[in-house]
């Protein structure tokens, strides 16, 4: 319902914008083929925002950056390792694998940790550990996450999750 209201207001704002004299005149004079292309891309942009799941609508995702849709206690996830001297160091997926740039692959780990899929986070950690071992000499990777198990009214409950790579049985 809120999404419908948001979409309606956005559409109204866009129509109001198109009433501005220079834009109005421009779009009235836009030939059919160009208008069709513009309409299709606008539709896809709006469709991605309001209609579909991001995994279905890609590359037209919902643009909800910095919005507090996931308000509540913060969930976080960090990867740590120990260097040759036994010091604990924080490992950033961005540094482990630059291909991820700003993509925050730890969110995927967080989702897996939340669902307690213990085997999978450990295997994913092992993959990251493999990427990292030659670069830094850090020989162990551990995932620590704090996930919300109960949100909403009252005191939210959180759960701390720790996965250690060295607990993974060797591959046959």
Please choose, from the candidates 148, 145, 149, 146, the residue with its C-alpha nearest in 3D space to the C-alpha of residue 122.
Answer: 145
Q: Binding of another protein at residue 105 (CB under 8 A)?
A: yes
Q: How far is CA 153 from the centre of its chain?
A: 25
Q: Which of 82, 100, 140, 144 binds another protein (CB under 8 A)?
A: 100
Please choose, from the candidates 132, 121, 117, the residue with its C-alpha nearest in 3D space to the C-alpha of residue 77.
Answer: 121
Q: Return the structure tokens found at 153.
A: 């009214």
Site string for another protein, 19-58 (x = CB under 8 A): -xxxx--x---xx-xx-xxx-xxx--x---x----xxxxx
Give the separation between CA 155 and CA 121, rounded to whole angstroms.
Answer: 28
Q: Which of 47, 80, 82, 123 binds another protein (CB under 8 A)?
A: 123
Q: How far is CA 161 from the centre of its chain?
A: 20
Taking the least distance from each CB to another protein, the nearer of 74 and 84 is 74
Q: Binding of another protein at residue 162 (CB under 8 A)?
A: no
Site size for another protein (CB under 8 A): 70
CB of residue 150 to another protein, shortest distance in Å? 19
The span of 106-114, 135-143, 155-163, 164-172 binding another protein (CB under 8 A) equals 106-114
Q: How many CA atoms lie within 13 A of 113 on its CB side?
A: 29
Beta bridge partners of 12: none
* Token pair 């009252």 in the structure block, residue: 154
Cα-flanking dihedrals φ and ψ of residue 63, to 5°? -95, 95
**Residues at the interface with another protein (CB under 8 A):** 2, 5-6, 9-10, 13-14, 17, 20-23, 26, 30-31, 33-34, 36-38, 40-42, 45, 49, 54-69, 71, 74, 76-78, 90, 92-95, 97-108, 120, 123-124, 127-128, 130-131
């Amino acid at each position: 319902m809120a999404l419908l209201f948001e979409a309606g207001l956005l559409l109204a704002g866009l129509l109001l914008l198109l009433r501005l004299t220079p834009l109005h005149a421009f779009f009235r004079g836009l030939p059919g083929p160009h208008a069709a292309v513009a309409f299709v891309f606008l539709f896809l942009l709006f469709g991605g925002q309001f209609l579909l799941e991001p995994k279905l609508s890609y590359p037209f995702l919902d643009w909800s950056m910095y919005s507090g849709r996931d308000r509540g206690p913060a969930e976080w996830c960090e990867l740590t390792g120990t260097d040759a001297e036994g010091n604990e160091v924080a490992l950033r997926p961005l540094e482990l694998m630059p291909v991820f740039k700003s993509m925050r692959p730890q969110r995927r780990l967080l989702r897996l940790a939340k669902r307690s899929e213990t085997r999978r986070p450990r295997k994913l950690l092992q993959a990251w550990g493999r990427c990292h071992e030659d670069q830094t000499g850090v020989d162990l990777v551990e995932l620590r996450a704090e996930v919300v198990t109960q949100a909403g009214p009252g005191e939210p409950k959180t759960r701390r999750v720790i996965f250690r790579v060295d607990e993974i049985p060797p591959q046959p």
